[in-house]
Amino acid sequence: MKVKYGLKNCYYALATIAADGTATYGAPKRLPGAVALTMDPAGEKTNFYADDSIYFSVGGANGYTGSLEIAMIPDSFREECLGEIKQDGVYIETGVGSSQAFALLFEFQSDENEIKHVLYNVTASRPSIAGNTKGETVEVKTDTLNLTAATIHNAALDKDITKARVADKTAAAFSTWYTSVYQPLVSA
């Protein structure tokens, strides 16, 4: 693969996080209208200097922060992930924001095939409210979710993990990527 383009097939799967820090996931649900996704690494590299050089270095792999721009946030996502309450067909945002952890699944097209990703422990903050009056032409406004993807413990690997990806169409997980959240099963 030389290039990637085309964000598509966004899904979310609600996470239930156990006392030991591991997670189980519900069935992935479609998050339609993906426009753009930007996730930047969180955490800094720390260097220890001795003998006038870097003697020891440790990476600060603390997940990712970023945003997902979509056409319009589905009501189901607002209720399940953002903690809005539905009453008589009305969605109510409460003063106590209670974001539910979820896995975010998505893919990019490439010059050879799809590259499918999962971020395991994502939370979303309340989106901004924005819109414009209609003029001579209609300008579509999108919604943007600010996301934090933290690490989560995987018992099979006995490691904290943040994301996984697959581009090999012969891999067993490739064809079932959106039916359940891929979890490493054995230590690599």
Length of the chain: 188
Residue 149 burial (10 A CB sphere; 0-12, 13-18, 19+):
buried
Domain extent, residue 141, equals 4-39+66-166
pLDDT at residue number 88: 94
Nearest to 11, CA basis, from 184, 176, 137, 188: 176
Alpha-carbon span 106 to 92, nearest angstrom? 28
| DSSP classification of residue 78 | H
Alpha-carbon span 69 to 73, nearest angstrom? 9
Structural domains counted in the chain: 1
Secondary structure of residue 79 in the 3-state scheme: helix
Alpha-carbon span 181 to 167, nearest angstrom? 16
Query: Is residue 112 a part of any domain in this protein?
Result: yes
Compute how many other C-beta atoms are within 10 angstroms of the C-beta atom of residue 134.
8
Query: Is residue 176 a part of any domain in this protein?
Result: no
Higher pLDDT, 7 or 46: 7
pLDDT at residue number 110: 73
pLDDT at residue number 72: 93
Structure tokens at 153: 């413990």
Query: Is residue 26 a part of any domain in this protein?
Result: yes
Query: Is residue 47 a part of any domain in this protein?
Result: no
pLDDT at 188 over 60: no
Alpha helices (runs of H) in the chain, residue ranges in sequence order:
75-80
Query: Is residue 179 a part of any domain in this protein?
Result: no
Residue with tokens 């979303």: 124
Alpha-carbon span 61 to 151, nearest angstrom? 8
Task: Quick: pLDDT tens for 128-158.
Answer: 888 888 888 888 889 999 999 999 999 999 9
Query: Is residue 74 a part of any domain in this protein?
Result: yes
- Cα angle: 46, vertex 48, 53; to 5 degrees: 120
pLDDT at residue number 183: 93
Task: Quick: pLDDT tens for 37-74.
Answer: 999 988 666 677 777 776 666 666 678 999 999 999 99
Query: Is residue 49 a part of any domain in this protein?
Result: no
Residue 28's beta-bridge partner residues?
none
